[in-house]
Amino acid sequence: MGVLRIHCGTIEKGVSLHIHHDGEADLVDDEENTKRGWIRDWTRAAIKSTRGNDCRLRIIEPHDYLTEYEHQGLLVRGFYRVVETVNNTEQAREAWRAFKEDPE
């Protein structure tokens, strides 16, 4: 199980980074529409980034290497690896909805 440091939310219309996970979150409101904090004891997570009408999804799992994903000043940082990337906007949105329902 891992620990992630995150800064997520929406920074302007159409620019966001969100995460779904199976862990315990300790987050505080940072700015109007963003949160900062930690996600602990997670085993699988989905990171959704948007810019304009484009949407990307990354499925991550704990790993031995420190990794950081930064998107327009928002970030997910921790010891993880990307196990799946979805670059097609519609497929990414569909995978995001499916992950929310069943993160396994």
Q: What domain range is 45 assigned to?
A: 2-101
Say how many domains are in the chain: 1
pLDDT tens readout for residues 13-59: 889 999 999 999 999 998 779 999 999 999 999 999 999 999 999 99
pLDDT of residue 2: 82
Q: Is the pLDDT of residue 82 over 90?
A: yes
* Burial profile 35-57: b = 16 or more Cβ within 10 angstroms, e = fewer: bbbebeebebbbbbbbeeeebbb
Among candidate residues 12, 1, 4, the one with its CA nearest the CA of residue 72: 12
Residue 74 pLDDT class (50, 70, 90 cuts)? very high
pTM: 0.92
Residue 91 pLDDT class (50, 70, 90 cuts)? very high
The amino acid present at 75, given as its one-letter code, is L
